[in-house]
Amino acid sequence: MGVRRAAKGVGDFLVEMLGEAVAEVILNLLACALLGCLVLVVYLSWSLSPRFTIAGAGLLGLLLANGAWQSFRTSARGRRRRGLAALTAGCFTATATTALFLLLYSTGCDCL
């Protein structure tokens, strides 16, 4: 009985280790693809119009700054975010999550 239990434990460990390795490869590929798409968008927008690219980056910076301010400020009790405040806070959260994902997984990307 001890040999079967040990064999089952080793088999479970190997399956879990293989699953984690496959998930790591998929996440690295996804991060490389996302990073490549972001670079492509910046390249294409710069080649079309550098002025609009800088203006768009400035507007995006303002949107993210307002979203960060809305996310981290203390609001009055019982008041919810509405309209633009909710939109900018959501955009900030999505951008921060994407940046964290790229920081964790695209550092091992050899596509650069």
Q: Where are the domains of the chain?
A: 2-108
Q: How confident is the model at residue 83 (pLDDT cuts 50, 70, 90)?
A: confident
Residue 95 corresponds to which tokens in the numbers above?
A: 């951008």
pLDDT at 106: 78
CB 109 within 8 A of CB 32: yes
pLDDT at 76: 67
What are 1-39's pLDDT values in tens digits? 578 888 888 888 888 999 998 988 888 888 888 888 888
| pLDDT above 90 for 52 | yes
Calculate ∠ Cα 98-104-109, nearest 5°.
100
Cα 20 from Cα 13, distance rounded (Å): 11
* 79 secondary structure, DSSP code: P
Cα 81 from Cα 67, distance rounded (Å): 11
Residue 58 corresponds to which tokens in the numbers above?
A: 């400035």
Length of the chain: 112
